[in-house]
């Protein structure tokens, strides 16, 4: 029975950290070492513009020669895309890889070399196996994520494989060496400090003494719960209610709703899949209990949650989400980079849902492509890594708030908050002061022992070994 319990427990981890359930994508996988007929036809067409947002010449033609690194030939660059698609059925990272590489290759590739992505399907539990495969053939990992990404970081560092993730999850991997992350916030800082400070100090101060936290019961989410308890306690707002729900799922959310009501919770942090959240909110609404705010977490940012919750619940409950400094997708018409990203999906991955993690993946691909292009013909891992690390104000061409990749461990500088309504998600009234974002927000450095990112020294290596 132990293996079954283990797999069941991982369901919540997948939902919370690997972008949810099958409602966020379809079941078709992508990837492979051979370009398909569509890609070949695009490659033979006249080169398109390689500009993206305010980035110029991200991709383009050239006359490359030689094989300066593993995975790099005179014609191609082979990269891996980590994904739990075999478990979650979410194809968002594969879709982002398809959309971006098709566009980039149509523009000429990376100085004439075509990008060839291979989706490394971890099937949730096979992270090490997929990293080992990537270590044998890939130049780098780009635009992917795995819920149990900490399992593969030791092997990745041993083989000196650079990683440009769409998002990171476990403490061993978050901020590990040879990782070039477009995600704001370093491993020793609590990423949501600005958001929660805004909730309990500015927007809903009466909720400060009545914060509740409910989370799926798994090792990863328990750590996240502990971090939130530490943060709120440090802010003088020790949570009045905390609870875990079974990773196997809940058939009746009424007892949880009753506990929230009895504890008079005013602000609720929910860490789990948005399907469960919608059911909990339906029970709360049926009891005529309305909270000041609910942190629905960014996994709920999309049409699936608003459809599940329904107009009555969305009118009664105030669902908010910190969307990690990514420009609102519903406001794409006012932001050229976001519109261009959506256009890429429409052209090269038609019918696929564009999710928040998919937009993050596009930003990661852009970071990789810009860095690789700057290396010209001498495309080595050292050049790639050093070029990316020089990006001190990375925005993905306008997809996100600026991130300084020169500093490995730093607090989040900017945030933006979304609100769920019956008409869909929209920016909340959080007083942005820099375009779509509020910058110079508060920060918090964690005190607890939640683990640390792995280093090259941990595996007997150093930056001098990178070629």
Domains of the chain by start residue, with CATH: 2-185+333-407 (3.40.50.2300), 193-323+413-439 (3.40.50.2300)
Q: What is the pLDDT of residues 300-309, one digit of tens each?
A: 999 999 999 9
Contacts 24+ apart (CB under 8 A), 185-189: 185/410, 185/411, 185/412, 186/407, 186/408, 186/409, 186/410, 186/411, 187/409, 187/452, 187/453, 188/409, 188/445, 188/446, 189/409, 189/410, 189/411, 189/412, 189/443, 189/444, 189/445, 189/446
DSSP element (H, E) containing 418: strand 417-421
Q: Say how far apart CA 160 and CA 26 lie, in whole Å.
A: 33
Burial (CB count <10 Å: 0-12, 13-18, 19+), residue 148: buried
Contact indicator for 234, 264 with CB cutoff of 8 Å: no
- For residue 109, pLDDT over 80 is answered with yes
C-alpha distance from residue 30 to each of 33, 81, 90, 256, 369 (Å) = 11, 10, 11, 40, 20
Taking the CA atoms of 290, 294, 299 and 303 in sequence, report the sign of the dihedral they define. positive
Q: Say how far apart CA 305 and CA 354 lie, in whole Å.
A: 14
Considering only CA atoms, which of 424, 428, 397 is closest in space to residue 415?
428
Strands in 163-164's sheet, in edge-to-edge order, are 114-121, 76-83, 140-142, 163-164
Which pLDDT belongs to residue 221?
A: 82
Considering only CA atoms, which of 279, 302, 280, 274 is closest in space to residue 16?
274
- For residue 23, pLDDT over 50 is answered with no
Which pLDDT belongs to residue 428?
A: 98
* Count of beta carbons in the 10 Å neighbourhood of residue 205: 12
Q: Say how far apart CA 190 and CA 51 lie, in whole Å.
A: 34
At 17, is the pLDDT very low, low, confident or very high (cuts 50, 70, 90)? very low
Which pLDDT belongs to residue 184?
A: 93
- For residue 180, pLDDT over 50 is answered with yes
- Strand pairing class (417-421; 424-427): antiparallel
* Count of beta carbons in the 10 Å neighbourhood of residue 287: 13
* 3-class secondary structure, 439: strand
Which pLDDT belongs to residue 47?
A: 58
* Count of beta carbons in the 10 Å neighbourhood of residue 436: 20
Q: What is the pLDDT of residues 370-424, one digit of tens each?
A: 999 999 999 999 999 999 999 999 999 999 999 999 998 999 999 999 999 999 9
At 4, is the pLDDT very low, low, confident or very high (cuts 50, 70, 90)? very low
Query: What does the pLDDT average to over 227-248?
Result: 94
Q: Tokens at residue 443, please?
A: 């920060």
- For residue 154, pLDDT over 70 is answered with yes
Q: Tokens at residue 160, please?
A: 């000196």
CA 397 to chain centre: 17
* 3-class secondary structure, 144: coil
Q: Packing angle between helix 92-106 and helix 356-374, nearest 10 degrees?
A: 40
Which residues, listed in sequence order, are joined to residue 83 by a DSSP beta bridge?
121
Q: Say how far apart CA 345 and CA 350 lie, in whole Å.
A: 6
Considering only CA atoms, which of 255, 397, 345, 278 is closest in space to residue 21?
278
Q: Say how far apart CA 304 and CA 355 lie, in whole Å.
A: 10
Alpha helices by DSSP H, listed for 210-355, are 219-234, 254-262, 274-286, 303-316, 336-348
Contact indicator for 110, 355 with CB cutoff of 8 Å: no
Least confident of 15-29, 67-81, 174-188, 273-287: 15-29
Considering only CA atoms, which of 196, 420, 203 is closest in space to residue 292?
203
- For residue 85, pLDDT over 90 is answered with yes
At 222, is the pLDDT very low, low, confident or very high (cuts 50, 70, 90)? confident
- For residue 55, pLDDT over 60 is answered with yes
pTM over 0.85: yes
Q: Residues, the chain, total?
A: 467
- For residue 93, pLDDT over 80 is answered with yes
Which residues, listed in sequence order, are joined to residue 372 by a DSSP beta bridge?
none
Q: Tokens at residue 263, please?
A: 């504890």
Which residues, listed in sequence order, are joined to residue 425 by a DSSP beta bridge?
420
């Amino acid at each position: 029975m132990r293996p079954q319990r283990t797999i069941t427990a991982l369901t919540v981890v997948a939902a919370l950290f690997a972008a949810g359930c099958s409602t966020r994508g379809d079941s078709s996988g992508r990837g492979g070492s051979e370009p398909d007929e569509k890609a070949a036809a695009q490659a033979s067409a006249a080169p398109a513009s390689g500009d993206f947002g305010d980035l110029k010449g991200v991709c383009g033609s050239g006359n490359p020669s030689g094989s300066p690194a593993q995975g790099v030939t005179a014609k191609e660059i082979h990269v891996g895309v980590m994904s739990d698609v075999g478990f979650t059925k979410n194809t968002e990272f594969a879709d982002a890889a398809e959309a971006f590489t098709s566009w980039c290759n149509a523009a000429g590739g990376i100085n004439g070399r075509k990008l060839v992505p291979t989706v490394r399907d971890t099937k949730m539990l096979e992270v090490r196996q997929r990293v080992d495969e990537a270590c044998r053939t890939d130049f780098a990992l780009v635009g992917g994520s795995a819920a149990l990404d900490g399992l593969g970081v030791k092997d990745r560092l041993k083989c000196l494989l650079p990683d440009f993730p769409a998002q990171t999850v476990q403490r061993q991997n978050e901020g590990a060496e040879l990782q070039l992350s477009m995600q704001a916030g370093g491993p020793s800082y609590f990423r949501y400090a600005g958001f929660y400070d805004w909730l309990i100090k500015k927007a809903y101060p009466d909720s400060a003494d009545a914060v509740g936290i409910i989370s799926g019961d798994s090792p990863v989410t328990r750590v996240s719960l502990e971090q939130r308890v530490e943060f709120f306690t440090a802010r003088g707002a020790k949570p009045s209610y905390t609870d875990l729900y079974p990773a196997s799922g809940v058939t009746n959310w009424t007892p949880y709703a009753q506990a929230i009501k009895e504890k008079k919770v005013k602000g609720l942090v929910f860490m789990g899949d948005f399907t469960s959240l919608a059911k909990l909110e339906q029970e709360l609404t049926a009891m005529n209990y309305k909270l000041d705010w609910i942190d629905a977490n960014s996994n709920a940012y999309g049409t699936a949650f608003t459809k599940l919750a329904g107009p009555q619940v969305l009118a009664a409950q105030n669902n908010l989400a910190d969307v990690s400094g990514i420009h609102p997708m519903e406001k794409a018409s006012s932001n050229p980079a976001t519109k261009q990203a959506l256009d890429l999906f429409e052209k090269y991955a038609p019918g696929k849902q564009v999710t928040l993690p998919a937009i993050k993946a596009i930003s990661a691909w852009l970071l990789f492509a810009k860095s690789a292009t700057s290396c010209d013909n001498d495309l080595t891992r050292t050049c790639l890594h050093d070029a990316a690390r020089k990006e001190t104000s990375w925005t993905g061409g306008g997809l996100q708030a600026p991130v300084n990749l020169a500093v490995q461990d730093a607090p989040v500088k900017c945030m933006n908050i979304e609100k769920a309504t019956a008409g869909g998600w929209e920016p909340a009234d959080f007083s942005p002061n820099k375009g779509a974002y509020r910058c110079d927000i508060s920060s918090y450095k964690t005190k607890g022992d939640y683990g640390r990112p792995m280093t090259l020294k941990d595996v007997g290596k150093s930056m001098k070994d990178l070629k």
